[in-house]
């Protein structure tokens, strides 16, 4: 579990505040793309987190394309994201668990 999980109440407050900011900046009809861009622009989604999420999300699809060969999959991702295979492996194995709700949100 995360060392400092956010309480569910704080998460809901954040959602309300974010909705208010986006409706002021954009419109009530903002798409998910607008929301993600807003979060990135204001530093709420760190560039490293965004990159790690993209690596994790592409891993499973590439693994199928590479017929289950993990080495080739790590190489493909390393080339695409300009990093070493070891870095890609660490991201897959250590960062993947951080993308689960139970890791990030504490339900009281």
User: 63-84: per-residue pLDDT in tens?
Assistant: 999 998 999 999 999 999 999 9
* 23 and 71 share one domain: no
* 19 and 57 share one domain: no
Please, are residues 68 and 35 in contact by the beta-carbon 8 Å criterion?
Answer: no
Instruction: Give the model's pLDDT for residue 51.
Output: 93
2 has a pLDDT exceeding 70: no
3 has a pLDDT exceeding 70: no
Please, are residues 36 and 72 in contact by the beta-carbon 8 Å criterion?
Answer: no
Give the mean model confidence (pLDDT) for residues 87-105: 85
* 27 and 56 share one domain: no
Instruction: Give the model's pLDDT for residue 75.
Output: 95
* 58 and 106 share one domain: yes
Give me the number of domains the chain comprises. 2
* pTM for this predicted structure: 0.71
* 63 and 101 share one domain: yes
Q: Domain containing 39: what range?
A: 1-45
């Amino acid at each position: 579990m995360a060392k400092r999980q956010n309480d569910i109440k704080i998460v809901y407050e954040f959602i309300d505040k974010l909705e208010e900011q986006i409706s002021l900046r954009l419109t009530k009809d903002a798409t998910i793309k607008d929301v993600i861009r807003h979060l990135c622009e204001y530093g709420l989604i760190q560039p490293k987190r965004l990159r790690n999420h993209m690596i994790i999300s592409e891993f499973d699809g590439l693994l199928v394309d590479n017929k289950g060969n993990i080495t080739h999959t790590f190489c493909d991702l390393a080339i695409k994201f300009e990093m070493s295979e070891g870095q890609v492996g660490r991201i897959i194995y250590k960062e993947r668990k951080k993308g689960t709700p139970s890791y990030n949100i504490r339900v009281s």
